[in-house]
């Protein structure tokens, strides 16, 4: 993230800096925003979005979005900030068919799961059906099924 320290004082206009930041990718296709969200760097996320206006729904190689990364790693403060951003798409599925709620459940991120279930579109998140891997390849799974398996107390509340 030293790149931001270079871009800020360099005199680049915001439009040029945004283009650089949106195009800059690591070997998995993740942008600086993906990485900041995955690491829980709220101030960095705020700066990337607020100062530079980077794209919030950009996808990495496996179709993960920055929001997906924050949910997967359980960074509730970043999740809350992203949920307030206009245009955030919380229902995007990755290449495995999982959405942000699925991945938060699978990774046992209970505070994030609870927050996502408070969202206006929580029903759309719950409707996401996908097929498992390995022995479960032909069995459809849903967030409710995952809640029952991984977080039965929350499943009971829903």
How does pLDDT run across 109-155, given as a tens digit for each residue? 999 999 998 988 887 877 776 656 544 555 567 777 777 777 667 76
Q: What are phi and psi of 127, to 5 degrees?
A: -80, -5
Rounded Cα distance between 11 and 76, Å, is 33
Question: Domain-by-domain residue ranges, the chain?
Answer: 2-124
pLDDT in tens, 54-105: 889 988 887 899 999 999 999 999 999 999 999 999 988 888 888 899 899 9
pLDDT for the residue numbered 115? 96
pLDDT for the residue numbered 23? 77
CB-side neighbour CA atoms (13 Å) of 83: 18
**Nearest of 74, 107, 70, 76 to residue 92 by alpha carbon:** 70
pLDDT for the residue numbered 3? 56
Pick the CATH number of 2-124 from 1.25.40.20, 3.30.428.10, 2.30.30.760, 1.10.3720.10: 1.25.40.20
**Nearest of 124, 54, 46 to residue 80 by alpha carbon:** 46
Rounded mean pLDDT of 46-60? 89
Provide the 3-class DSSP secondary structure of residue 37: helix
């Amino acid at each position: 993230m030293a790149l931001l320290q270079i871009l800020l004082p360099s005199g680049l206009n915001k439009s040029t800096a945004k283009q650089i930041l949106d195009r800059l990718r690591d070997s998995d296709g993740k942008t600086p925003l993906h990485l900041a969200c995955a690491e829980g760097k709220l101030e960095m996320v705020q700066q990337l979005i607020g100062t530079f206006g980077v794209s919030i729904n950009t996808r990495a190689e496996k179709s993960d979005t920055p929001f997906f990364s924050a949910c997967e790693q359980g960074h509730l403060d970043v999740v809350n900030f992203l949920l307030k951003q206009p245009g955030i798409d919380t229902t995007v599925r990755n290449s495995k068919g999982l959405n942000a709620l699925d991945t938060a459940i699978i990774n046992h991120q209970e505070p994030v799961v609870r927050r996502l279930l408070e969202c206006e579109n929580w029903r759309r998140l719950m409707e996401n059906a996908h097929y498992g891997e390995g022995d479960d390849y032909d069995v459809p799974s849903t967030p409710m099924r995952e809640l029952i398996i991984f977080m039965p107390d929350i499943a009971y509340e829903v």
